[in-house]
Structure 1
């Protein structure tokens, strides 16, 4: 694939080596990020293998450990758990809590702020719940185990995310957001079904207490201080209330997470935190240190702080413990033979592998066919097909329902074999789809603009209907992008109104910490019709793009400051910038500036004469130039 290395001038220039270093470092960061996800997935897989080996080598010791009782309480108020229940009911609630936090963020300020985007994973998730259950009932009819249909309804989020990191496609950003949103809707639906269909000793009164606790969690955001202990206390109360009601307590984790506030940092709060930090630097003492630390912490939403705090523990401790406690399946020739001819086992395998794929992919394909909802660049049907195949990896909820829906221990063991077999088949099936999908995307595809220019959406300088298009993915703190602005100006001087210039965002946040904030500020200015004026002011002073500088530029341009500050914190502005960033990821843009000329990636120098020649070159497959 071509990259920005081919765009830089080939003459000896220290800037060229800087861009090479920048690109290598960007790739290294991506590898580290993927590495973290893969480590978590590998730990989960390793724990599963250890559990299977342990259960087959020493069944008694495996069962004895997880049946160990733990009692917590004082006097007459005591909670008695087995170690197995502690992992499944308490620790896994934290897992569902972190998943709920991330999806809450996506719906509030991320990719899913637009209902036209969110409706796709929601409907796909609902279809992914219904179709597997129907297939299970068709195959298991007459076996006496029809009530175990819940085994096939849920996708294991941990294995889904981990497997996507291991075998997923290049540039999986939008697919990951889609699958994560789908998985949480799937989890909520599955846990609700457990509460309705598999709760034998349901007591509604504790749910009243849970509702009051959830209301308290919602209003805790309005406290001026001490919110952390209040959140923790109310969360424990809600979890205990769910437990006492007979409803699976992991549902409490999702419910709590969806009520935790998430917001974009307010520029004035950030600047206040910086002022306190400067004060501490000038006069270091405990009081100023505490004030600066509290101000910095409070400028970031509690949602994001909690994600950062809990994510490593969930990935590296909680999920491997869950696998170790639940994947201990006894496997021998007799069990495998019985499973192979068991209608129940085939109902589980077909329900998970085929049902999830048909439900998720089929619903997505129908929505795309009838243009219902909006599919972002990179979220193509072949990639959705791979994601739909991964959805057949049932584990957490599947194994839980096996325990509560099937009484016979031998049948339980066969069902667990079927769940694990379905997960392996789904993983292999998805791997094949992703490899075929990547193979069919050659260099020709990587050089094509994935999202056509849309005058209603894009920032266009010049005649929106001009025959020639020069599109740039750039970063307001990038020195090379500043250099490119001069070339773009010369191109327009020569070609005039026959060329339109389009800007899209690709901030390299690893190296330019203020670049994304600057991009969002330009979008806020665009809402008042001053995008390119604000762009020029950013390029005119790349070294000063702190919150006060961002506000000062808006004031100098005569913008309505109240509206500007509100737009800076709006989810629509954040989503608009992120939309461009995900488009850039889908096209493997790892360095800026990257130019597209008439819809094709430009490879070569980006001086004015080179860009003019590229703009006037014949369209591929024809002998005539595009325009003169």
Structure 2
């Protein structure tokens, strides 16, 4: 991205608050599924192309991917086949992006809190163990028991892409659950590749790899030119892994785990925006370079690399991998042999049945025991559909087939099993999601508050045991929310201790650029017991909610500013706001303010008299208790 492109992007974002337009769905901020959908479709097209190619001319397919390549200078040469180049080199980039995601999730994502992570972590572990056990039970005595690693992993690209295509009406919470599960699943699969499927191990080159990894770690402290240094050291580490006998793709994972990740510091972001405004007032090359560099540096290297590599992985690397590895023969004779093969049956049962039993069964057990966190929208029927989707093992399954199965006929049978399991898992998940949406009760339509009020968690103003309740999903930059909050305060004056008022976050960040920052700042204030004081202060000055304004408000309220700034970038604060956003998505909240009166969604005016009538209506029996 050029300096001027970076600057223009920043200017567009700065002007976003002034642009009128339709309010976007809160689900849009959960993350666009467009890239995942296109990537999954390209993966499918490449798979079909590989199958057609292999069945039209297996000789040309094998000859092409067996083409020898020589890379090097003088006596330093590396001879590889085109197939090995894809599997060992390009897939190292894929595993590098997997490692970046693992690092991010454990640093600032869903896996930072053990209570939040418990359900996906346990489900992922069960989804690794149960399929492997089923495979070994079915394949024992066949000589292929060693290939149990084929059934342990879920293909994240297909999983997310398929969820975008066939998922339930409100997939946000399920998508977060499955992505966290996939991260743990990837850790397990990568560990097994390293520990079980590494042959001809030579430890000495790993000393060179270790030195290179130390260099990768300290590269973060360079003031400039980090990109070429990272690239050079990555090549050294990859070559050292290759020489050691450890599969070189794992070099990508290890390097990624050393790349720093952090949430943007609000002071750095505001400094960058000041430079952008300076450039706009006096455009020249020096200001453009300074502003662009400042904008880039405000985002962690981890997230910049994820953003940079994601399109190449989705649109190039994974389709190439499928084209190089999914070429299976599908003649009637071969299919008949595969149907009778314990290897094929073990893979299909392991992936389809094992993943479903492991993921869904462990989730049901945790739910019954009251362990872990199941938010609104993460219901057991949706987990059942997600567990079925986990049977799409594809990428890493095909990858391990190449490592664990050496007989060509057995490899073909294994690939048939992987492809069959992916198709069956997709169809089964589609059926489950369609039935689930069709029979979903009215209580799940968004008309009734999905998560009951909990004084220990929620921000409650008034008597926690009051007979009347108003829950507002709102945005601190929304003028209508300011008006609604004023009406609710009038109602409190009328009802006194008989009313409790609860605020939950639904920031419309695409319309109000500072709304998400305001929500997180209020949670940081809540850590010091000043939530409603802070909320009133930012409501009173909706046009000035930049980082410096937020810090100024905290200082004016007499808060511990140093602790406040630490809490602003904590995983607890971001997770708390994200939970409210996901709850809002589960109830199809697309505009704010959205009010729930005594647990039921309020439709109509929200002036004080209208709210009083709705609160005291005799036919309203949905009074929510903690």
TM-score, scaled relative to structure 2: 0.92
Distance of 2:180 and 2:232 partners within structure 1:
28
Which shifted more, 355-364 or 101-110?
A: 101-110
In the alignment, which residue of structure 1 is the partner of 2:178? 179
How far 1:273 moved relative to its partner? Answer: 1.5
SS at match of 1:503: strand
SS at match of 2:295: helix
Per-residue CA distance 1:522-552 (angstroms, 9 max, x = gap): 1112222221111112111211111221122
Structure 1: runs of 5 or more not aligned: 1-17
In the alignment, which residue of structure 2 is the partner of 1:356? 355
In the alignment, which residue of structure 2 is the partner of 1:135? 134
SS at match of 1:113: coil
In the alignment, which residue of structure 2 is the partner of 1:454? 454
Classify 1:601/1:372 alpha carbon distance in 2 versus 1 (closer, same or farther; 3 Å). Answer: same
Which shifted more, 213-222 or 522-531?
A: 213-222
How far 1:210 moved relative to its partner? Answer: 2.8
1:22–1:591: 8 Å Cα contact kept in structure 2?
no
In the alignment, which residue of structure 2 is the partner of 1:227? 226
SS at match of 1:596: strand
Q: Does 1:36 align with 2:32?
A: no
In the alignment, which residue of structure 1 is the partner of 2:337? 338
How far 1:288 moved relative to its partner? Answer: 2.0
In the alignment, which residue of structure 2 is the partner of 1:288? 287
Q: Does 1:566 align with 2:566?
A: yes
How far 1:474 moved relative to its partner? Answer: 0.5
In the alignment, which residue of structure 2 is the partner of 1:534? 534
1:103–1:180: 8 Å Cα contact kept in structure 2?
no
SS at match of 1:112: coil
CA RMSD, 1 decimal: 2.4
In the alignment, which residue of structure 1 is the partner of 2:522? 522
Number of aligned residue pairs: 607
In the alignment, which residue of structure 2 is the partner of 1:505? 505
In the alignment, which residue of structure 1 is the partner of 2:168? 169
Classify 1:369/1:210 alpha carbon distance in 2 versus 1 (closer, same or farther; 3 Å). Answer: farther
Distance of 2:150 and 2:505 partners within structure 1:
44
In the alignment, which residue of structure 2 is the partner of 1:56? 55
Q: How does 1:53-452 map to 2 (within 5 A)?
A: 53-446=52-445, 447-452=447-452
2:30–2:172: 8 Å Cα contact kept in structure 1?
no
1:108–1:263: 8 Å Cα contact kept in structure 2?
yes
In the alignment, which residue of structure 1 is the partner of 2:466? 466
2:26–2:584: 8 Å Cα contact kept in structure 1?
no
Q: Does 1:476 align with 2:476?
A: yes
Distance of 1:201 and 1:413 partners within structure 2:
25
2:36–2:157: 8 Å Cα contact kept in structure 1?
no
Classify 1:267/1:95 alpha carbon distance in 2 versus 1 (closer, same or farther; 3 Å). Answer: same
In the alignment, which residue of structure 2 is the partner of 1:547? 547
In the alignment, which residue of structure 2 is the partner of 1:10? none
SS at match of 1:508: coil
Classify 1:472/1:31 alpha carbon distance in 2 versus 1 (closer, same or farther; 3 Å). Answer: closer
Classify 1:325/1:493 alpha carbon distance in 2 versus 1 (closer, same or farther; 3 Å). Answer: same
How far 1:32 moved relative to its partner? Answer: 9.6
Distance of 1:309 and 1:475 partners within structure 2:
31
How far 1:592 moved relative to its partner? Answer: 0.8
SS at match of 2:33: helix
SS at match of 2:473: strand
2:25–2:589: 8 Å Cα contact kept in structure 1?
no
SS at match of 2:492: helix
TM-score, scaled relative to structure 1: 0.92
Distance of 2:378 and 2:342 partners within structure 1:
36
SS at match of 2:367: helix
How far 1:20 moved relative to its partner? Answer: 12
Divergent runs of 4+, >4 A? 18-21, 27-32, 619-622
Classify 1:548/1:28 alpha carbon distance in 2 versus 1 (closer, same or farther; 3 Å). Answer: closer
How far 1:289 moved relative to its partner? Answer: 1.7
How far 1:318 moved relative to its partner? Answer: 1.4
SS at match of 1:33: coil
Classify 1:234/1:32 alpha carbon distance in 2 versus 1 (closer, same or farther; 3 Å). Answer: closer
Classify 1:46/1:361 alpha carbon distance in 2 versus 1 (closer, same or farther; 3 Å). Answer: same
SS at match of 1:70: strand
Distance of 2:26 and 2:197 partners within structure 1:
47
1:393–1:427: 8 Å Cα contact kept in structure 2?
yes
1:616–1:626: 8 Å Cα contact kept in structure 2?
no
2:37–2:160: 8 Å Cα contact kept in structure 1?
no
Distance of 1:156 and 1:124 partners within structure 2:
16
2:66–2:81: 8 Å Cα contact kept in structure 1?
yes
In the alignment, which residue of structure 1 is the partner of 2:11? none
Distance of 1:80 and 1:94 partners within structure 2:
20
Distance of 1:538 and 1:574 partners within structure 2:
18
2:33–2:161: 8 Å Cα contact kept in structure 1?
no
Distance of 2:624 and 2:450 partners within structure 1:
20
How far 1:461 moved relative to its partner? Answer: 1.0
Classify 1:200/1:71 alpha carbon distance in 2 versus 1 (closer, same or farther; 3 Å). Answer: same
Classify 1:270/1:194 alpha carbon distance in 2 versus 1 (closer, same or farther; 3 Å). Answer: closer
SS at match of 1:22: coil
